[in-house]
Each structure stands twice: as C-alpha cells, then as structure tokens.
Amino acid sequence: MKIGVLALQGAVREHIHHIKLAGHTGIPVKRVEQLADIDGLVLPGGESTTMRRLMDLYGFTEALRQSELPMYGTCAGLILLANDVVGYEQGHLRKIDITVERNSFGRQVDSFEANIDVKGIEDQVDAVFIRAPHIVSVGPGVEVLSSVEDKMVAVKQGKYLGISFHPELTEDYKIMKYFIEEMVTK
Ligand code: GLN
C-alpha cells in the first residue's frame, strides 16, 4: 500500500519510518495532486493551528474535506479530524464525530510516556503524550479504543482513526499496522 503523510509541519519522518516497518511505502505529501496516488493518509502531530494555516494555503482543507481516503491522525492530527474543538467555532476537517480539547494533559508534566491498552491491538502500546488533546465527547457512530486517567485518547469511526498520543516517537508501530490493515486494505 502507498500511505501518504501530510508533510506541511510536524513529525513526518517518524511516521514514514513506521509505515516502512509495517511493510508498506510511506510518501510525504506536500501537494494536493499527490492525494490521487495514495491509499491512505496520516495526519501527524505538530501544532494544529499552524497545520490548519498551511492546509488552507496549499488547498488541503477543502480537498481533504471532500476526500474519501482513510485517515489516521495523531495528536494535532486528531484535532484536525475532530468535528469540534473546544474554544473554536468550527472543527477543521470534521471527519470524526467527536469534540476534542487541546493541551488537556497540561496540568501534569508537559509530556509523559505510558504503556496503554488499545482495543483491537493485542499487546500494550508504547504511547508518548506531548501537550496532548483528549476527547471530551463522542457521537453515536464512534468507537472508543482507549482511555487514560478517565480521558478518552483513541477513537475510530469508519475509516478514520484518531489518537491523542505519539506512537511514532517510539519503535512501536502496532497502531500504524492496525490502521493499514483495518482501514486501508479492508
Ligand atoms: N498541542 C498541539 C495542538 O494543539 C498538539 C501537540 C502535538 O501534536 N504533540 O495542536
């Protein structure tokens, strides 16, 4: 499979590495035309407000709203996929029927690492949280895959997967494999 990683800002290389570990081809996506050549798209972590500005500038916001590609967002990427973001008038791509709140593990240390259970994945996942958002509420079509400290941190709706942490900063590529096998090739 050819899996694109939106390469406007954020942790692009790390996701490309995970796609390779999962046995597939990772492609940095910088132009809208490249969307026609891929089977799925990863929206990386970074800064969602910056990414949104660049997505508007390069025509991705509209193209991705209309796109039927399976998508997997981590951290800022989860924020981009959410229907609603606390404190904002409207969500960005509005692919998953959830409301997210940004920087919501902030009262702890700014970032932390934990081994967590994720539904559908056999072993625990090595998860790094960096100024992570959490999912405040989910609509009826959304399946919650993981929670940490009573906060929802991973969800799936149809061919869209959103998680609030960064597995790509570790060597643990189980979630990438899950995305490709469950949402791209199925
Ligand atoms: N705090 C960032 C945001 O709101 C997300 C952080 C991350 O992607 N690690 O976009």
- CA-nearest of 125, 134, 140, 130 to 175 is 125
Q: What is the mean pLDDT of the chain?
A: 95
Atom of ligand 1 nearest to the CA of 47: 10
pLDDT at residue 186, as a whole number: 85
Distance 2 CA to ligand 1 centre (A): 26
What is the per-residue pLDDT across 157-171, written as a single tens digit (0 to 9) for each?
999 999 999 999 999
Q: What is the mean pLDDT of residues 123-140?
A: 94
Top CATH class of 2-184 equals alpha beta
Cβ count within 10 A of residue 76: 28
Distance 123 CA to ligand 1 centre (A): 26
Task: Say what percent of the chain tops pLDDT 90.
Answer: 91
Question: What pLDDT band is residue 107 in, cutting at 50, 70 and 90?
Answer: low
Tokens of 52: 């949104």
Does the model's pTM come out above 0.75? yes
Phi and psi at 112, nearest 5°, equal -155, 160
Q: Is the pLDDT of residue 103 over 90?
A: no
Active site residues per annotation: 75, 166, 168
Distance 38 CA to ligand 1 centre (A): 25
Residue 166 is classified by DSSP as B
Give the distance, in angstroms, between the CA of residue 106 and the centroid of all CA atoms in the same chain: 19
Task: Say what percent of the chain tops pLDDT 70.
Answer: 98
Question: What pLDDT band is residue 106 in, cutting at 50, 70 and 90?
Answer: low
Q: What residue's CA is closest to ligand 1, atom 2? A: 47
Q: Give the dihedral of Cα atoms 102, 106, 112, 117; nearest 10 deg.
A: -50
Alpha helices per DSSP H over the chain: 12-21, 48-57, 60-66, 76-81, 174-179
Domain ranges of the chain: 2-184
